[in-house]
Amino acid sequence: MDTFVISRPDDWHLHVRDGAAMQAVVPETARIFARAIIMPNLNPPVTTVAEAEAYRDRIQAAIPEGSDFRPLMTLYLTDNTDEDTIKAAAEHDDIHAFKLYPAGATTNSASGVTDIRNVRGALEAMAEHDIPLLVHGEVTRPEVDFFDREKRFIDEVLMQVVEDHAPLRVVFEHITTQEAVDFVHQAPARVAATITPQHLLENRNALFRGGLRPHHFCLPVLKREEDRHALLEAATSGSPSFFLGTDSAPHPRGAKESACGCAGIYSAHTALELYAEAFEAVGRLDRLEGFASHFGADFYGLPRNQGKVRLSRQPRQVPADLPMGPDVVVPFRAGETVAWTAELEQA
C-alpha cells in the first residue's frame, strides 16, 4: 500500500507551551489534526475556567488563517480543586477534562497532587458531573526504581481510583509498559489509554545509543523492548480502549542539552507519519484510522471528524532543528527520515 486515506485524526495529549514558543508549535499540529487535548501544566498552571478560556484564546490566535483546528482545554487538578470549579468546567463547551499530575512527576508538576486521598472529593465530583480524569501515572518516591514508577502507580493508586469512583471516566496517559496494557484491557470500558509515537518506535536503548541522548528523554521514560511490543500490539489491536496521544512536548535545545536536561520529546512535526511507520511495521495500516481518528472522539463523546488525510509513501527529511520563538527545538527523528508524508485532503 503506497497511499491511503483516513478520517482526519485528533491528538488526545498535546503540549503547546505559551508565548513565542506556542506561535511556532501550534501550526505544526493544526497542519494535520482537527482537535487536540491541551495539557494545562504551564507555569503557573491552568487551574480555573477563566485561565483555561484565556489560554484557549492565546492558542486560537496562533492557529494559521483558514485552519479549523480546535483546542480542547483541560484544567490542572490540585489538592485544592473544589466542586464548584469541577461543575463549571463540566458545563463549559471548551473544557473536556482534568489532568492529574503527581507532584514532582514531570515538567511543571510542582503544584500537582501530593496524595490521592487529598482529591477524593474532587474525583467524586468529576464522576458526578461526568468529566474525565487524565492521569500521569507514576509514583515519585525516591526509593522507587525509575523504570518501575508506572507499575507502582497502577498497584498503589490507579486500581483503587477506578474501583472507588465509578462511573468516573479515566484516561491513563502515555502508557509505557506491559503492565499498563494489561490494566487497561482488564478495566471497565470507562478506562482508556493514550500511546505516544516514541513509545511505539523506541525502547530505552535509544537513551544511550552512541552516548547519552537527551532528546530521547521523556517522562514516563522509554522502557524495555518487550514493553514496546506490548504497546504496539495494543495500539494496533483495534481495541477502542487505546488511541492516539502524542505527548509532543517542545523544549528549547539548551534546556535539553544541559547538566540536568528536561523531559519531553517533540513529535508534532511528523506525528501521524511516525504512527504510520509503527503500524506498517506490524502489517496493520488498516487499523490506523480507528486508533488515530475514531476511538478518542468516541471516548470523549465528540463527533468523528468529517475531513480526510492522505498518507503517501514519500520519505520526508526531518530537520535537525526547528524554530521555536527565540530558540530552536530538536524534533523526534532529527536529521533522519520518516517513510510517510501526510497531507490534509482539500474539501
Q: Please list the active-site residues.
A: 247
Q: Is 43 annotated as a binding residue?
A: no
Angle at 217 between CA 215 and CA 317, to 5 degrees: 35
Cα dihedral 180, 184, 187, 193 sign: positive
Q: Is 41 annotated as a binding residue?
A: yes
Q: Is 185 annotated as a binding residue?
A: no
Burial class from Cβ neighbours inside 10 Å (0-12, 13-18, 19+) for residue 211 reads exposed
Q: Is 136 annotated as a binding residue?
A: yes
Residue type, position 148, single letter: D
Angle between helix 49-62 and helix 83-90 axes, rounded to 10 deg = 40
Residue 97 CB contacts under 8 Å (≥ 6 apart), including other chains: 37, 74, 75, 131, 132, 133, 134, 171, 300
Q: Is 13 annotated as a binding residue?
A: yes
Q: Is 174 annotated as a binding residue?
A: yes
Q: Is 327 annotated as a binding residue?
A: no
Q: Is 263 annotated as a binding residue?
A: yes
Give the residue among 178, 172, 175 at the shortest CA–CA distance from 157. 172
Q: Is 5 annotated as a binding residue?
A: no
Rounded to whole angstroms, how far apart are CA atoms 264 and 269?
A: 14
Give the residue among 72, 74, 11 at the shortest CA–CA distance from 45. 74
Helix (H) or strand (E) holding 323: strand 322-324
Q: Is 187 annotated as a binding residue?
A: no
Q: Is 80 annotated as a binding residue?
A: no
Q: Which residues make up each annotated binding site for Zn(2+)? A: 13, 15, 99, 136, 174, 247
Q: Which residues make up each annotated binding site for substrate? A: 15-17, 41, 136, 219, 251, 263
